[in-house]
Homo-oligomer: A and B are copies of this chain.
């Protein structure tokens, strides 16, 4: 016998989270492909639709994406007429991003599809509010724990 399996993955939360995400998202990613929308672009659109006008940095934070990735996505989305950029009035460094009506319409469609597919996949799953609550709490706790101790973001 070549050594007992050490069961790293089965206890490694990031693996389980990623696995669940991928399994759940796969059908929707196919939809995105049909619309020619990259995943990073979808994340930007969803955040914008939900939170309204945002600066690039706020957008990046909410979309869980690095700033350059968001900037690239915005350029593409702007070229397609889905979002608009306006220079900040108070702080001229800032660019405030907002949806165009076309962008909002598309995003609404995508969100509906996303929710539909999610609901279909979860139809047989039981009580998920518990899972959601734990996920939210966990994330919040880690974020606090990571940001707080050193006051400084390490290199």
Contact = CB atoms under 8 A, between A and B. Distances in A.
Given A17-B20, A118-B14, A9 B135 contact: no
B111 A64 contact: no
A58 interface: no
Interface residues of A, number: 56
B118 A16 contact: no
Interface of A: 2, 5-28, 46-47, 49-52, 64, 111, 114-115, 118, 121-125, 128, 130-132, 134-139, 141-143, 145-146
23 contacts: A6-B50, A8-B46, A13-B118, A13-B128, A14-B21, A14-B28, A16-B139, A17-B18, A17-B21, A19-B64, A19-B135, A19-B139, A22-B64, A23-B139, A23-B143, A23-B146, A24-B142, A26-B146, A27-B146, A125-B138, A130-B134, A131-B131, A134-B134
